[in-house]
Amino acid sequence: MRDLKLPDQRHPEKAHRPDNAQPKKPAWIRVKAPGSEGYRETRDIIRGQKLSTVCEEAGCPNVGECWSLGHATMMIMGEICTRGCSFCNVATGKPEALDAFEPGRVAHAVAQLGLKHVVVTSVDRDDLDDGGAEHFAQTIRAIRHRAPATTIEVLVPDFLKCGPAALETVVAAKPDVFNHNLETVPGLYPEVRPGARYFHSLRLLQRAKELDPSLFTKSGIMVGLGEDRQGVLQVMDDMRAADIDFLTIGQYLQPTPKHHRVDRFVTPEEFAGYEKAAYGKGFLMVSATPLTRSSYHAGDDFDRLRAARLARLGG
Ligand code: SF4
């Protein structure tokens, strides 16, 4: 008997698309082109300090806007990752040894850029016993020393192959925000994030808050990878059970044809629905728009996050 494919009733734009075709990029995915004076200044400082950024390595669509404002997300511990997630543009392979001077150069760049809030992330370093936790801690301390007024957000790997000491090392260095992205719904982990474990990542976030209840915890997912609304709502419930404060949701964009395909473009109205649902579940802050990325507008969001906590404590 022939396998009849029924039209997708929930997402009619998918109904007549062959399985391997990419959906057309919609009008709401529009970004500022790189090239402003501010963009060039940011680029020169990053190049001058020989630093890597996730903005460039991941091919982030917001780089024109963020860099024109001097906002760059530092990526430490090299440009080679030990994992091979199907959504990510960072190269997979055998990383180089850690650069002991990198924390100082990151701190110098933060001071040069005059950042009031910095996001520091890294590749996965499963080759290191502590997953790079001490390097994160050294970077936090260097920024505190060089730019004491700057608030610090770390977007860390999952430290899956390390003992609990790795997380404790990062938390003890006292970042202001502890961010770790769940990236997608658990059912898509085998194809999207094959080296990771959903419940381990959730537990990492929960444990960070237990170790230091003054920390803000933050996590994000991409949509348009093949998940459904019910799955996204379940992730929100899981995150709230882990006491996560801040949720980000953004549209997945395929960096190259070799990467995971875009299943669909989620509409701005659906994003607004996710934001409303997430606030209803008790998150302190939610950012859910097509161009939301975990570090997009992170400084302004941090101010709002602090205000939201104070308001909740006061209320
Ligand atoms: S959203 Fe984040 S990763 Fe993208 S350009 Fe802005 S700071 Fe960089």
Residue 291 Cα: closest atom of ligand 1: 1
Q: Can you tell me which residue has the tokens 């999952």?
A: 158
Higher-confidence residue of 30 and 201: namely: 201
What is the reported pLDDT for 277? 98
Does residue 120 line the site of ligand 1, with CB under 6 A?
A: no
CB 39 within 8 A of CB 94: no
Does residue 66 line the site of ligand 1, with CB under 6 A?
A: yes
Does residue 293 line the site of ligand 1, with CB under 6 A?
A: yes
Residues composing the chain: 315
1 — pLDDT class (breaks 50, 70, 90): very low
Mean pLDDT of the chain: 92
79-125: per-residue pLDDT in tens? Answer: 999 999 999 999 999 999 999 999 999 999 999 999 999 999 999 99
Pick the CATH number of 32-313 from 3.20.20.70, 3.30.565.10, 3.90.850.10, 3.40.50.300: 3.20.20.70
CB 54 within 8 A of CB 75: yes
What is the reported pLDDT for 6? 43
Atom 2 of ligand 1: nearest residue by CA position: 295
Angle, alpha carbons 296-98-221 (nearest 5°): 30
Q: 51: burial class by Cβ within 10 Å (0-12, 13-18, 19+)?
A: middle
* Domain ranges within the chain, ordered by starting residue: 32-313
244-263: per-residue pLDDT in tens? Answer: 999 999 999 999 999 999 99
Does residue 222 line the site of ligand 1, with CB under 6 A?
A: no
Q: How far is the CA of 56 from the centre of ligand 1 (A)?
A: 8
